[in-house]
Amino acid sequence: MKKEILEPFNISDNNFEQCVKCTICTVYCPVLEVNPDYPGPKQSGPDGERLRLKDPNFFDESLKLCLNCKRCEIACPHGVKIGDIIQMARIKHSKKKPIVRDMILANTDIVGTMASTFAPIVNPIVALKPVRRIMDGVLKIDHNRIFPKYAGMRFETWYRKYAEKKQSDFKKHLSYFHGCYVNYNFPQLGKDLIKIMNAAGYGVHLLEKEKCCGVALISNGLIKQATKQAKHNVEAFKKSIVDKKMPVISTSSTCIFTIRDEYPHLLGVKNEEIRDESELATRFLFRLIDSGKLKLVFKDSYKKRIAYHTPCHMEKLGWSIYSTTLLKMIPGVDFMALESRCCGIAGTYGFKKENYETSQGVGKPLFDQIDNSDADFVSTDCETCKWQVEMSTTKKVEHPISILAEALDVEATMKLWQDK
């Protein structure tokens, strides 16, 4: 018998009709657990959708309390896109206009450009307690939050100056979507990525012009701008993937999740031509190693106990196994997995004064696990999880790519394919 494909009739795009009201999603909602003002994923999602279809006035502004962690979707036995339903409802029906604070938080690239230009001035100022008090009072950015430091030299500038030339020495090539965090705050991660990919025999290139993936614009209701940037990025990805046959990799699980799934689901921006070859660096490396095309050699001297935290969007992608398998390949790594739970920051969500308590409440079980562990540090694939864990626990956080870069024996790795 030929394989059949299940094609239900008359099902809407976000398939809310397939909800059987089992309530399993609400069990795994991290917000509901700490903030009963949130109506919960079932009520906000498929249940509310029925009402909103009848009359948009049924829209409830409390839906903004959703973190968009998608843990409801992972739990759903019937594959209902609960998180998408909630986000779409906000996009369609929310009457709340973004405030100045939301614009500042959402425009990571504009703010990043300005802040990194004046990094030596900006960094100490935004870290000052009185300044944080003012930001809290005027902008409603919680005073407990400390902004990630801005880098003096942007990653793109560094790349053009020091790395670009060498990339043509390689036979194989790929593009790197670095995202705002690597560009403005933490160029070292981008440098680490180039180190590993070069060692693996790949030249690393930047896209013609990448724009912020737009995740923060979406969550702050700046949809028009998000859609514009999404279209721009899809075209930039096409130039690499379709025209030059160069896959695009990223080091940010949220950027890549947004580009692969939120573009078509929430913004209606088609991405079929680029989706399969837009992925995380750890997945790209895993595939090469798994299929026997690459072997990484590690230094014996690297010895660490590492606790891995699965970011929500990594959980949704199902990809944490790639990062954790790579970490476990390092002989000196003593690996432990933290129970997969939301850290509570959800990008810009936790920076907002009104969400601070919920954010820390959601993250508490994870923070306790981390503080009670004997790990040297935590590893995770998401930059905002990193900020949250570093702000809320005693441990530092490193990206798996940075760990691999530190442990990698570059010469020995290169020798393996150069000799062939």
83 binds other proteins (CB under 8 A): no
276 binds other proteins (CB under 8 A): yes
Among 14, 15, 28, 366, binds other proteins (CB under 8 A): 28
316 binds other proteins (CB under 8 A): yes
Residues, the chain: 420
Query: Rounded CA gap, 154 and 191, in Å?
Result: 11
292 binds other proteins (CB under 8 A): no
99 binds other proteins (CB under 8 A): no
Q: Are 333 and 304 in contact (CB under 8 A)?
A: yes
Q: Which two tokens stand for residue 143?
A: 């005073």
Smallest distance, other proteins to C-beta of residue 321, A: 7
263 binds other proteins (CB under 8 A): no
Q: How far is CA 218 from the centre of its chain?
A: 13
Q: Given the rule CB under 8 A, which of 145-153, 312-320, 348-356, 400-408 is the region that contacts other proteins?
A: 312-320
Among 235, 290, 354, 411, binds other proteins (CB under 8 A): 290
HSE value, Cβ hemisphere, 13 Å, CA-based, for 21: 3
Query: Rounded CA gap, 373 and 379, in Å?
Result: 13
Query: Rounded CA gap, 168 and 220, in Å?
Result: 40
11 binds other proteins (CB under 8 A): no
DSSP bridge pairs for 307? 336, 378
Smallest distance, other proteins to C-beta of residue 123, A: 39
Among 11, 56, 78, 137, binds other proteins (CB under 8 A): 78
Smallest distance, other proteins to C-beta of residue 312, A: 11
43 binds other proteins (CB under 8 A): yes
386 binds other proteins (CB under 8 A): no
237 binds other proteins (CB under 8 A): no
Burial class (CB in 10 A: 0-12, 13-18, 19+), 335: middle
Among 158, 237, 308, 319, binds other proteins (CB under 8 A): 319
Smallest distance, other proteins to C-beta of residue 365, A: 9
Give the other-Cβ count within 10 Å of 242's Cβ: 12
Among 182, 317, 333, 362, binds other proteins (CB under 8 A): 317
Smallest distance, other proteins to C-beta of residue 395, A: 23
Backbone angles phi, psi at 83, to 5 degrees: -60, -40
46 binds other proteins (CB under 8 A): no
Q: Which residue has the tokens 């948009």?
A: 56
287 binds other proteins (CB under 8 A): yes
Among 90, 283, 386, 399, binds other proteins (CB under 8 A): 283
Cα angle: 105, vertex 187, 174; to 5 degrees: 105
- Residues in 142-201 at the binding interface with other proteins, rule: CB under 8 A: none
Q: For other proteins, which is the closer residue by CB, 182 or 241? A: 241
Please give the C-alpha separations between residue 284 and each of 174, 242, 346, 384, in angstroms, as whole numbers.
10, 17, 25, 22
Q: Which two tokens stand for residue 110?
A: 């504009």
258 binds other proteins (CB under 8 A): no
Q: Are 248 and 278 in contact (CB under 8 A)?
A: yes
Cα angle: 195, vertex 257, 352; to 5 degrees: 100
Residues of this chain that interact with other proteins (CB under 8 A) are 1-6, 22-24, 26-28, 32-33, 36, 39-40, 42-43, 47, 73-79, 276, 283, 286-287, 290, 315-319, 321
